[in-house]
Amino acid sequence: MNTYPHSQPVHTPPPAPAHAPAYAAAPGSTTDAAPAHAAAHSAPASGAPAANAVGAAPAQPGSAGHVAPSAASAAAPGGTAPAISARGLLKAYGPTHALAGVDLVVPQGESLAIMGPSGSGKSTLLHVLAGMILPDSGTVTLGAGQAAGAEVTGMSTGERTRLRRESFGFVFQQGLLLPELTAEENVAVAAMLKGAPRAQATARAREWLGSLGLAEHANKRIGQLSGGQAQRVAIARAQITEPAVIFADEPTGALDSTTSAEVLRILLDTTVGRGRTLIMVTHDEKVAATCRRTVRLADGRIVADSAVAASTYGGAGYAQQEGGAR
């Protein structure tokens, strides 16, 4: 597995025991649910960047271009219960198609990298899985967290907003932190949006920031932090109330290689290291190599999946990665 060198130690939260730390969940909540950050709450219900649109027409069931779901895609690899399942996802923007019949099952505790060239549909797929936008057809179903069994694609805009707030966490390339707030306030607001009292949310935010080596920066505003420090704040915000699934869109894309390695290690330790699911879009092969599984898209279709035999995708499959990938 390709890894980055680490130039300095970081304070990474230890793997969680069978029961999550007391500070990690609001009273009455389960350890599987958590809010997304404030920016994700207000994500539009429709529309997507033009960069995700591609020119290929969607493949219809029974056509030459359509790949029928295989046994591997119909159930989570290895028999593990799925965290999230997608079936027949189609998404078009005018005459172009960002998703052209995607079937994907992500097991609980999986680290999944989604890769592909610009315009392949990888960010659109992540946004559909997270309920930020709806597909034109197809379904997304949850298998973990408070909303287990719920069909995301059948939810109203308000229901999907609540889902992102209570069951998902998000880490984006630029962090999307609120510059008017301190690091501590940025983390605490996620817990407060779910109903935690301010004092309790603040205490948990301090715990998370301390565990990520940011205790001395808790009262600084985001503009006073380095890029790596700001991304650690974003990770703490995404994790504060124990989400079932973390979605990361190019989380290290704006960082240098050393800082990227540091942030990536923390992200993996606080997600799959605690039994949660990580779904990450990246263009970086080294970043993808740290995940247990890699899915590759082209023209809105999955063309390779490291968990599926090469023959499923016409010989374009990739062997399961080795060497300690999470």
Say yes or no to pLDDT of 224 above 50.
yes
Please tell me what DSSP assigns to residue 152: G
Could you tell me which residue, 147 or 282, shows the higher pLDDT?
Answer: 282
Packing angle of the helix pair 198-211, 183-193 (nearest 10 deg) = 130
pLDDT digits (tens, 9 = 90+) for 84-134: 999 999 999 998 899 999 999 999 999 999 999 988 999 999 999 999 999
Using one digit for the tens of pLDDT, what is the confidence trace for 207-219?
Answer: 999 989 999 999 9
Contact 120, 297 (CB under 8 A): yes
- Residue with structure tokens 């309790």? 200
Distances 243 to 58, 111, 246, 297 between C-alpha atoms, Å: 33, 14, 7, 26
pLDDT of 227 > 50? The answer is: yes
The two tokens of residue 262 are 């540091």
**pLDDT reading at 11 higher than 60:** no
Task: Tell me which residue of 124, 234, 127 sits closest to 174, measured CA to CA.
Answer: 234
Domain limits, the chain: 22-59+72-313
Q: Which residue has the tokens 């597995």?
A: 1
Whole-number pLDDT of residue 51: 33
CA pair distance 92, 117, nearest whole angstrom: 18
Pairing relationship of beta strands 245-249 and 168-172 according to DSSP bridges: parallel
pLDDT for res 146: 61
Average pLDDT, the chain: 75
Pick 165 or 55 by higher pLDDT. Answer: 165
CATH superfamily, with its number, for domain 22-59+72-313: P-loop containing nucleotide triphosphate hydrolases (3.40.50.300)
Q: pLDDT tens digits for 280-290?
A: 999 899 999 99
Is pTM, for the whole model, over 0.85?
Answer: no
Higher per-residue confidence, 252 vs 40: 252
pLDDT tier at 308, thresholds 50, 70, 90: confident
The model's pLDDT over 237-254, given as tens digits with 9 standing for 90+, comes to 998 978 889 999 988 887
Q: How far apart are CA 261 and CA 266, in angstroms?
A: 9
Report whether pLDDT(59) > 80: no
DSSP conformation class of 62? T
